[in-house]
Structures are given as structure tokens and as C-alpha cells.
């Protein structure tokens, strides 16, 4: 799986958009970008994933650059409950038998 | 959506005892289950991968005789920490992969916080 690089921490004001970057310059053509988050003392929660096109769901939007070497997770209106560690993971979809490997992620702190 | 139930959520026990943690996939069949461990202020570290009906594959540095994994059915995996000591205190998280591929590569339980006195 390709390596990812994320800033260790970010701050965001409540109600504003939170933009979390992720670099994955060695990504392969068949690797997807997955985002999970972990709220304190809970298991990781799936947010969104994508291959080439931008994606949006009820939780967030994922913007992937045209060269696919980086992406940005956008929480359009951050709330205090969005305070968590956000993990960007790159891997082949439906890769049987292999686990998601977590890096250090970005700690997002949302404040009022 | 797919739910992974982990039990107990918290356990405190004396040094030397063995502790069993259960992980169940509630509304799907899991061909593969994964166990992670997380120390304070650190990321999740993969401990082992188990497939239903076969022996688990352990990551380097994880003692298979200390962390016994049983994956007897497509909906249940157990992790037993044998003769636990204070250094085994950690947050243990299980994860399951659906037999039918979907959006998410893995579904996670809410973790078990183990404290050894």
C-alpha cells in the first residue's frame, strides 16, 4: 500500500469548514483513498473513499487531485463532535485478507 | 449498516489472570477478522489477522501464545490475553471484513479497554 503523509494536528472553528490534506505521491492506479476517523476511546469510523473522482456523502466531501498524488477531506460545517483523529489510508479495494494499516493521522480540534 | 459488537467494553483485572474479548459481526458474515492494539496517544497497531476456521497470522513481535485468537465461526472471533501483566494494559479493537465486498474494507468494533493491576 502506498504511504500517506498528513499534518499531525489542525484546528477549526465550529461552523467553519475543516479541510484535511493528505499526500500520497506513490499511489498506484488501482489504489483507493480511504478516510476513517477515531473519536476518543472509540473504534475507527468510516467516512468516505474515492479513486479518481471527487466524492460526497452525508458526512464529508473528498477532493482528489487530477494526478491523484494528494487529496483533501472536507467537513463542510465542523461541529464539536467532529473533534477526532482522522486517518487517510491508501490501498487496493477489496484486497482480501489484508488489514488496513493506520498511520499517525491528523488530530482535528474543533472549538467554539 | 454493518455492526461489529465487541465485549466487554472495559475490564480491570489482577496481574496473572487471563482475559477473553469477544468480537461479533451482527448482521453480516466476516470471512476475515483483525485485532488491533492501541496505546495512549498512539495509532492502531495490527496484532493479527484471522480467517474463519484457520489459524491466525500474527504480526512481527506479537506473541501467539500470549494472545490466543479463535475464529470459530463467520460471526465470532475471540482474543484471549493469557497471564496478563500491567504492560498488556491497552485499548484492543477488533475489525471484520464482510464476506460480501461493500463500500468499507473493514468494520470496527468500539474497542475494549483492558487495565491490568
Give pLDDT tens digits for B42-54: 999 999 999 888 8
Judging contacts by C-beta atoms under 8 Å, the chain A residues touching residue B110 are 42-43
Beta-bridge partners for B7 = B22
Q: What is the pLDDT of residue B53?
A: 81
The number of beta carbons lying within 10 Å of the beta carbon of residue B93 is: 26
Nearest-CA distance B93 → chain A (Å):
7
Give the pLDDT confidence of A12-56 residue by residue, as tens digits. Answer: 999 999 999 999 999 998 889 999 999 998 999 999 999 999 999
Q: A97 pLDDT exceeds 70?
A: no
Nearest-CA distance A91 → chain B (Å):
10
Highest mean pLDDT among A16-25, B67-76, B90-99, B100-109: A16-25
Return the residue of B nearest to A43 by Cα: B110
Beta-bridge partners for A49 = A34
- Cis peptide bond upstream of B8, omega within 30: yes
Amino acid at each position: 500500500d502506498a504511504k500517506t503523509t498528513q499534518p499531525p494536528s489542525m484546528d477549526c472553528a465550529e461552523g467553519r469548514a475543516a479541510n484535511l490534506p493528505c499526500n500520497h505521491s506513490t499511489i498506484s492506479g488501482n489504489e483507493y483513498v480511504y478516510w476513517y476517523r477515531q473519536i476518543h476511546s472509540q473504534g475507527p469510523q468510516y467516512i468516505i473513499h474515492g479513486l479518481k473522482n471527487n466524492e460526497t456523502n452525508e458526512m464529508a466531501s473528498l477532493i482528489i487531485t487530477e494526478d491523484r498524488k494528494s487529496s483533501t477531506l472536507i467537513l463542510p460545517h465542523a461541529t464539536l463532535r467532529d473533534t477526532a483523529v482522522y486517518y487517510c489510508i491508501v490501498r487496493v479495494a477489496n484486497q482480501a485478507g489484508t488489514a488496513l494499516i493506520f498511520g499517525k493521522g491528523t488530530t482535528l480540534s474543533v472549538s467554539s | 449498516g454493518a455492526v461489529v459488537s465487541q465485549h466487554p467494553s472495559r475490564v480491570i483485572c489482577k496481574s496473572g489472570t487471563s482475559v477473553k474479548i469477544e468480537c461479533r459481526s451482527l448482521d453480516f458474515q466476516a470471512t476475515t477478522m483483525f485485532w488491533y492494539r492501541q496505546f495512549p496517544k498512539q495509532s492502531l497497531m495490527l496484532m493479527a489477522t484471522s480467517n474463519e476456521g484457520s489459524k491466525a497470522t500474527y504480526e512481527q513481535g506479537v506473541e501467539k501464545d500470549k494472545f490466543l485468537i479463535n475464529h470459530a465461526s463467520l460471526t465470532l472471533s475471540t482474543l484471549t490475553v493469557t497471564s496478563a501483566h500491567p504492560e498488556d494494559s491497552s485499548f484492543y479493537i477488533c475489525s471484520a471484513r464482510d464476506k460480501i465486498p461493500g463500500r468499507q474494507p473493514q468494520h470496527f468494533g468500539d474497542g475494549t479497554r483492558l487495565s491490568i493491576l
